[in-house]
Amino acid sequence: MKLRAPFLALLAGVLMTTTATADATPRARDLGIPFMGMPGPLNAITDVGGVTVGQVTLKQDLAGGKAVRTGVTAVLPRGARTKDIPVFGASFALNGNGEMTGTQWIDESGFIEGPILLTNTHSVGVVRDAAIKWRVMQGGADSSGYWWSLPVVAETWDGELNDINGFHVKPEHVFEAIRAAKGGPVAEGGVGGGTGMICHEFKGGIGTASRVVKVRDKSYTVGVLVQANYGVRETLTIAGIPVGQELTDDMIYHKPGGPNGDTGSIIILVATDAPLLPHQLKRMAKRAGMGLARVGSYAGNGSGDIFAAFSTANANAGQDGAPMTVTMLANDDMDPLFLGTVEATEEAIVNALIAGRDMQGNMGSYVKGIPQAKLLAILKKHGRLLPAKK
């Protein structure tokens, strides 16, 4: 991937970076970590046609040891058309120690309307209302006078690295994340909503992957994007190997002054172009948890493991008017999509870990990126490493 200069700005006193594209860092499978199934060309949620992603990263060191390490990630299911055309969607909470606003309406209506926004736990509100403001600013929505919005905003907690109670996310950051959304490669690791996130006690954050599957001679794509902030070290499993048992340095939990157990969460978004109805998308959302399980999660009590799935097919489904004609796959044909969801979720999480870099944060906190050489050595020892790609 090409490296493109990020857009920098000072907004509300905080240094904002708009991450235009992913950087050139090798991703998990580039290093030889084995995964099953066939990824799409970008191995990203943006392989699902029309899906765009925009990310705003907020990083600044403040007086008194405080540090801003947070941001916003916007996923637009239909790119620029997202503001007017909903997608069929569904949500599922594997462990609801978290927030995803808008889920009552998703599950009632079968639609996700507008962008999906990821941020930190204590900024869900500002991001939610900003999504409404943004829509009003686009015009049209309010023309009848009878219009309301129930935005979808999800979170994980970055209070270890980020001055979370400083409430540094502002409406402008949301506007910028939406504006910046585009297709193509997606930046991973400590960017956007994932800026200050921690996963299995290593630096985590945003990760993505995709699978192309065949159903009766047609190809469909499943794309996954995660904001990974969950997990304890001891259960970390990569390529089936319990590597967390050997990677025991630099742990965060169970240390003096550290938290007693998992304080994390993971948000998983599943996109597909397969024509699935809302109740079928709920089935897809559930499978995200099975991919999560493969990386060693047991959905700890403190973890908000909340998932949403959507389909970009059936663009006409959300319009008002006469009965609409929509397309659906047979339930009997869903297995490849289920398996693709499991596989892409697993890889997206590992991608988030591989993209993680050492980060110093709020009040002297420090989290290490996963030590890649050591990780690869363990996998090699177990015959679970492929040749690296150039």
What is the rounded (10 degree) CA torsion for 335, 339, 340, 345?
140
For residue 306, which of 203, 161, 164, 153 has the smallest C-alpha distance?
Answer: 153
Query: Based on CB atoms, which residue is closest to its own copies, 22 or 268?
Result: 268
Residue 122: what are its φ and ψ, rounded to 5°? -90, 5
CB of residue 159 to its own copies, shortest distance in Å: 6
Site for its own copies in 224-283 (CB under 8 A): 235, 237, 239-242, 257, 259-263, 275, 277-280, 283
Interface segment toward its own copies; rule CB under 8 A; list 39-47, 97-105, 184-192, 351-359 = 97-105
For residue 351, which of 28, 2, 89 has the smallest C-alpha distance?
Answer: 28
CB of residue 20 to its own copies, shortest distance in Å: 27
Determine which one of 123, 305, 311, 365 is catalytic.
305
Q: How far is CA 209 from the centre of its chain?
A: 10
Query: Based on CB atoms, which residue is closest to its own copies, 183 or 361?
Result: 361
Cα distance between residue 287 and residue 303, in whole Å? 17
* 265 noted as active-site residue: yes
Structure token digits, residue 175: 């506007």
Structure token digits, residue 209: 């992957």
316 three-class SS: coil
Asked if residue 167 binds its own copies (CB under 8 A), the reply is yes
Query: Based on CB atoms, which residue is closest to its own copies, 24 or 217?
Result: 217
Of these, 29, 59, 287, 368, which contacts its own copies (CB under 8 A)?
A: 287
Of these, 41, 104, 138, 388, which contacts its own copies (CB under 8 A)?
A: 104
For residue 207, which of 48, 42, 369, 352 has the smallest C-alpha distance?
Answer: 352
Cα distance between residue 290 and residue 342, in whole Å? 6
CB of residue 377 to its own copies, shortest distance in Å: 12
* 305 noted as active-site residue: yes
Angle at 159 between CA 369 and CA 207, to 5 degrees: 45
Site for its own copies in 319-348 (CB under 8 A): 319-335, 338-339, 341-342
Interface segment toward its own copies; rule CB under 8 A; list 2-10, 124-132, 183-191, 367-375 = 124-132
Query: Based on CB atoms, which residue is closest to its own copies, 60 or 109?
Result: 109
Angle at 59 between CA 56 and CA 62, to 5 degrees: 145
CB of residue 310 to its own copies, shortest distance in Å: 14
Query: Based on CB atoms, which residue is closest to its own copies, 76 or 239?
Result: 239
CB of residue 368 to its own copies, shortest distance in Å: 19
Residue 40 CB-half CA count within 13 A: 30
Which of the residues are catalytic?
265, 303, 305
